[in-house]
Chains A and B, each alone.
Chain A
Amino acid sequence: MMGEFSVFRIDQQPGIRNHVVILSLNSFCNRAVELIATAVRGTLPLVHPFGRNEIGIYRERLERTLEGVVLNPNVGAVLLVGYEPESTKALLDKVTQKTAKPVDSVLVLESGTMSAVHAGVDKAMWMVLGASEARRNPASDFEGFIFGVKCGGSDATSGVASNGAIGEAVDRILERGGTAIFSETTEILGAEHIVARRAVNEDVARKIYSAVEANEKMAMDAGIDLLGVNPVPDNVRGGITTIEEKSLGAIMKTGTHPIQDVLSYGQRPDRPGLYFMDSPSAASEVVTGMSACGAQMILFSTGSCNPVGNPISPVLKVTSNPRTVARMRQHLDVDISDVLTRGQSLRDAGDRIVEAIEAVSDGRLTTAEITGHLEFAPIPVGL
């Protein structure tokens, strides 16, 4: 029934999953993470190829992502698998000031991978036992909720229907106390005048314009025509021609509320409302960044379909393309193709998205969770 669902309470925030994460801090730690997660049922291994020698924004993005994974309310406990003590302790000290959930660490450079696995299995086991004791509590609004809002595998149906339906759901979420974050700086290029008009003040409008200018300068400095980079070939096959056309369709998913601020990749918003995260556009990386911002769920509009998921934050797939429904049902959660086939209203489609959000909050699995699409990509590059 609409308006009644249940959530875990983690650090006084609503959580819709209760993961025990085994988190690699460095590519050399991936092997230990995999072995610990194989040994201890009920754990979620997170590995990636980074953690050494990154600089500048790439370092910041990685650090915010690792910290964001630990603090995300869908995570009940975390075992950090670090390489050397200095950086591992630095992260442990930082997060333990911000969370009451169990967080512990093991080190590979202490006495080897197998020894770290031995110590890690023991710690992870009791974390799983503790997490299994958590009970869900009733919820009826979206206070404390953060939703990432993303489109991917876009085609011409996205801009005229599924993005607009998600925009309706975003308005409803904000009216019920929640927060939403949209992103993809390249995909407001050509629509920035419309987005900036919705900024809460002049300062935020300026931040939006300057994020777009910096992004477009990257394309111009590289001397590239965005065609083929963004829009990508499957967008073009689906009827999208220019980045302007893609952007004007993409911003429909942001609803109508004012934009409170521009966030960096993985930066957590400090008040409820609608936010823009300045980031390149690739789906796995953007979704990972939104999860690091604290998002419990990602609302994902797709045209020709994109199978992406996330290990921490369930990704709810919505399409309005009836051909995609017939072809790619295994990667979809909400079918609103009747907007185009029968003229059903976007408002009604938005209601069905909100119902699905409540069901998934309540524990229903998304297709991405079932198919095992758990992409974790902490450092976005590109446009």
Chain B
Amino acid sequence: MTSAPEAPKWLWLHEEDNVAMALSDFAADNTVTVNGTSIVFADAVPYGHKFAVKRIGADEPVIKFAETIGAAKRAIDIGEHVHVHNIRSLRGGAR
């Protein structure tokens, strides 16, 4: 688990994860550095929500907890809000 040193603003659980979790309310154009990569937020990302720390292609798995939590509905760029508008479940009646 990696997070910023003091009063962490984000949480990146595993190296395999292509998303990190916001521990702050971010506005578009805010910047953070995760694992040496400078990330500019494309959208507002509320507390607890996810943002992409790696580029995710359309239909590619979204990885958190080092596990697949769903698939990208479309390509997602680094710094984009990753939420129900651009990720879908692979389980239940939705597939």
Is B49 a contact partner of A226 (Cβ separation < 8 A)? no
Q: Is the CB of A224 within 8 A of B65?
A: no
The answer to whether residues A219 and B93 also contact, given A238-B48, A343-B3 and a CB cut-off of 8 A, is: yes
The answer to whether A340 touches B8 (Cβ under 8 A) is yes
A-side contacts of B70, CB under 8 Å: 241-242, 244-245
In the complex, the answer to whether A244 meets B67 with C-beta atoms within 8 Å is yes
Q: Can you name the residue of chain A whose Cβ is closest to the Cβ of B47?
A: A323
Which residues in B have their C-beta under 8 angstroms from that of A239?
21-22, 46-50, 83
Binary CB contact string for chain B from 8 to 25 against chain A (1 if under 8 A, 0 otherwise)? 100101000000011100
A155 to B47, CA, bound (A): 10
Binds B, one of A10-18, A123-131, A156-164: A156-164
Residue on B nearest A323 in the bound complex, by CB = B47
For B89, list chain A residues within 8 Å (CB). Answer: 190, 225-227, 241-244
Whether A216 contacts B92 by the Cβ 8 Å rule is: yes
Name which residue of chain B comes closest to A342, CB basis. B7
Chain B residues lying within 8 Å of A244, measured Cβ to Cβ, are 67-70, 89-91
Could you tell me how many residues of chain A have their Cβ less than 8 Å away from some Cβ of chain B? 35
- Interchain CB contact (< 8 A) of B67 among A191, A225, A226: A191
Query: Does B87 lie at the interface of the complex (its beta carbon under 8 Å from any beta carbon of A)?
Result: yes
Q: Does residue A249 face the partner (Cβ distance < 8 Å to B)?
A: yes
B80-94 interface with A by 8 A CB criterion: 82-84, 87-94
Tell me if A220 counts as interface (CB < 8 A to partner B): yes
Partner pick for B82 among A190, A224, A241, A303, CB 8 A cutoff: A241
> Which residues of B are found within 8 Å of A238, using beta-carbon distances?
48
Q: Is A1 an interface residue (CB 8 A)?
A: no
Residues of B with C-beta under 8 A to A223: 93
Chain B residues with Cβ below 8 Å from A160 are: 11, 13, 21
8 Å CB contacts to B: which residues of A99-156? 155-156
Cβ B11 vs Cβ A226 within 8 A: no
With an 8 A cutoff between CB atoms, is A236 at the interface? Answer: yes
Closest-by-CB residue of B relative to A304 is B48
Of chain B, the residue at the smallest CB distance from A230 is B92
CB distance from B25 to the nearest CB of A (A): 10
Known: A156-B21, A191-B67, A239-B48. A224 touches B8 (CB 8 A): no
Q: How far is the CB of B95 from chain A (nearest CB, A)?
A: 8
**Cα-based distance from A191 to B3 in the complex (angstroms):** 24
Chain B, residue nearest A221 (CB): B93
Would you call A226 and B93 a contact (CB within 8 A)?
Answer: yes
Partner among B7, B22, B67, B87 whose Cβ is within 8 Å of the Cβ of A241: B87
- In B23-57, the 8 Å CB interface with A consists of 23, 46-50
Contact between chains at A219 and B65 (CB < 8 Å): no
Q: Are A155 and B92 in contact (CB under 8 A)?
A: no
B contact residues around A321 at 8 Å (CB) = 48
Across the A-B interface, give the 10 residue pairs with the lowest CB-CB distance, nearest first.
A239-B48, A156-B48, A225-B94, A245-B69, A242-B89, A226-B92, A242-B70, A219-B92, A239-B49, A248-B65
* 24 sample A-B contacts, Cβ–Cβ < 8 Å, listed by A number: A156-B48, A156-B49, A157-B48, A189-B91, A190-B69, A191-B67, A194-B67, A220-B92, A220-B93, A222-B93, A227-B89, A236-B83, A238-B48, A239-B48, A239-B50, A241-B69, A242-B88, A243-B89, A243-B92, A244-B69, A245-B70, A248-B67, A323-B47, A341-B7
> Which positions in B face A, CB cutoff 8 Å?
3, 7-8, 11, 13, 21-23, 46-50, 62, 64-65, 67-70, 82-84, 87-94
In the complex, besides A190-B91, A239-B46, 15 extra interface pairs with C-beta distance below 8 angstroms are A222-B93, A223-B93, A224-B94, A225-B92, A225-B94, A226-B91, A236-B83, A239-B47, A241-B62, A241-B69, A242-B88, A244-B69, A244-B70, A244-B89, A244-B90
